[in-house]
Amino acid sequence: MPNQPERDLQRTCNRYFKDAYPHVRMQAGGAGACYQTPDENGCFSKIAKRAGAIRARILKADGVSNGFPDLFIYHPGAHGRMGLAIELKIGRGRLSEAQEAWADYLTQCGYDFVVVRTIEQFRAAVDDYLS
């Protein structure tokens, strides 16, 4: 199933965060997994692709923005920053143009933005940001 390793990383990061920082809020922000939905067998059939396209139009109409970071911490950081945006990538995955635009915008507005590829990088980024 495409994107499963990134989904697994997001779930692992979320579990760590909830255990380590129960008093701080973190929200999943990316909608990429919602744009393409596999069928019951994990395959991207024509029907599943069509359903994904319909879901994408609905999300866009609802205000979901392409490229928004996968995770977002809405809590002031230890270094005076306003929040932490986290984009998850697996292997050599790169930011899309939309993700780069969000990264630029958020950092200009006073937020931190990081790309993490492992749970160890996630822990280090979050621990540094909050302590």
The CATH number of whichever domain residue 25 belongs to comes to 3.40.1350.10
Q: Are residues 19 and 51 in the same domain?
A: no
pLDDT of residue 2: 46
Whole-model pTM: value is: 0.78
List Cα–Cα distances, 58 to 28, 31, 32, in angstroms: 18, 12, 13
pLDDT computed for residue 13 by the predictor: 96
- The two three-digit tokens of residue 22, written as one number: 């129960």
- 84/24 same-domain check: yes
pLDDT at 120: 97
Q: What is the mean pLDDT of each run of 10 residues along the chain (131 residues)?
A: 75 96 88 46 51 72 83 91 94 93 94 96 97 90
Question: Are 59 and 31 in contact, with CB atoms under 8 Å apart?
Answer: yes
Rounded distance, CA 74 to CA 101, Å?
20
Give the integer Cα–Cα distance in Å for 59 and 128.
33
Q: What is the DSSP letter of 55?
A: H
31, 64 contact by CB (below 8 A): yes
Domain that holds residue 42: 32-64
Q: Do 57 and 100 lie in a common domain? A: no
